[in-house]
Structures are given as structure tokens and as C-alpha cells.
Chains A and B, each alone.
Chain A
Amino acid sequence: EPEVTQTPSHQVTQMGQEVILRCVPISNHLYFYWYRQILGQKVEFLVSFYNNEISEKSEIFDDQFSVERPDGSNFTLKIRSTKLEDSAMYFCASNGAWGSNTEAFFGQGTRLTVV
């Protein structure tokens, strides 16, 4: 069964450092997403990406965040200068084309710990 793959599974970084979270979406999917889940809280939408540009972003997705699909395979989330409150589980998801009758598939998540 096709799956969304995220690496690393756990990342520890010092406050102020840049981190890049990586995702390999399902190969024929066209829509890509990042969500985050702070420990004990709900899963929150960060950003959606389609046709090589951001299609929607939440208030959380401020200037310290950026996304990129550098090589047609990977989909990355960069946090430029991490803060303690960025500690969370980050989930990548992908979905097929409109009308393709698929639902969003989520990766296993990357746990980011900022110390």
C-alpha cells in the first residue's frame, strides 16, 4: 500500500537553530500538507501546497516557516529560527487530484523537540 514517509522520526534542536523536516508524499498525489500537533492538543493545519505554490496557510504559518518541493519527490518544511513552542509532532499529508476519489494520507510524523 502506498504511504507517506517522513524523516527523521525524531529531531532535537537548539532554540534559534534552523530545522528542515522532510516528507516523501505518495508519488501520484498533487496536494501536499503540513500539520502539527503540540503534545496533548489537537492536530492543527499549517499549510497546503499545490502546483508548486502555497494554496492556503494558517495563522501559525508565519515568516519563520517555509515549504518547498525541491525535486518533485520531497516536500520539506523549514523552520528558520526555532522556538521552544515549536516543539510538536509535525505531520505531512498528501492527496490526489481533484475528482480522483482519494482521501488525504498522513505520514507517521516527525517529533520536533526544541531545547
Chain B
Amino acid sequence: GEDVEQSLFLSVREGDSSVINCTYTDSSSTYLYWYKQEPGAGLQLLTYIFSNMDMKQDQRLTVLLNKKDKHLSLRIADTQTGDSAIYFCAESMNRDDKIIFGKGTRLHILP
């Protein structure tokens, strides 16, 4: 079945780049997402990428997709304390289909 895997924790020093990795199993996934969840808050869509793209950049965020290996990564440049959150990798077949989420990576920022 569909599955999305990601590491559970990442610690990064403030000002460094954070790279959160994710793998997924469903090769028919068309949309791949990164959601951010701050403590006690809802799910905020950070960015998404179509499966026919290799890379997408949006200000400090860079998403890389290796479709052959079914590997997705999110790079946050110049990580700030406000980036401390749980980051969920997710995928769906179409934009209005159900979204399959990973377990989330908790990003901890070191001073």
C-alpha cells in the first residue's frame, strides 16, 4: 500500500541549512507536499512539487525530487528559530485525492 517514510528528528544550528528527507512508495503519486505543524497548531502547506519536476525553489525552501528513487527532500536555508516545528512529507495522486502523510520530522534548532 501507499506509505511515506521520514526520519523522526533533526537538530540543526541556527543559520545552517536543514535538509529533511522522505521516501514514498506509490509511483503513481502526482503531487508531493511538505506541511509544517507548529506546536498545538494545524497543518500549514509549505510547498509542493509535481512529479514531473526535479526541483522547486521558493525563497528559503528548496524541494528536490528523485522520482526514480522515490525520494523527496526539503532544504531550509538559513534556519531560524521560527522554523522549529514538525515537517510532514505527504503525497497524493491528484489534487483532490486523499493525502498520505509521513510520521513527521521534528526539527530542533540549536542556538
Contact = CB atoms under 8 A, between A and B. Distances in A.
A56 B98 contact: yes
A42 B101 contact: yes
Given A33-B98, A102-B95, A43 B45 contact: no
Indicate the member of B35, B43, B97 with the most A CB atoms within 10 Å: B43
B101 A104 contact: no
B42 A104 contact: no
Interface of B: 31, 33, 35, 41-45, 48, 88, 90, 94-104
B45 A103 contact: yes
Interface residues on A, range: 20 to 34
A45 B98 contact: yes
By secondary structure, the B interface counts as loop
B101 A43 contact: yes
Contact of A106 (B42, B95, B97, B98): B42
A109 interface: yes
Given A103-B48, A108-B41, A108-B42, A41 B95 contact: no
B36 to A, nearest CB: 11
Contact of B42 (A31, A56, A91, A102): A91
A107 interface: yes
Contacts of B42: 91, 106-109
A90 B73 CA distance: 27
Interface in A23-70: 31, 33, 35, 41-45, 48, 50, 56, 58
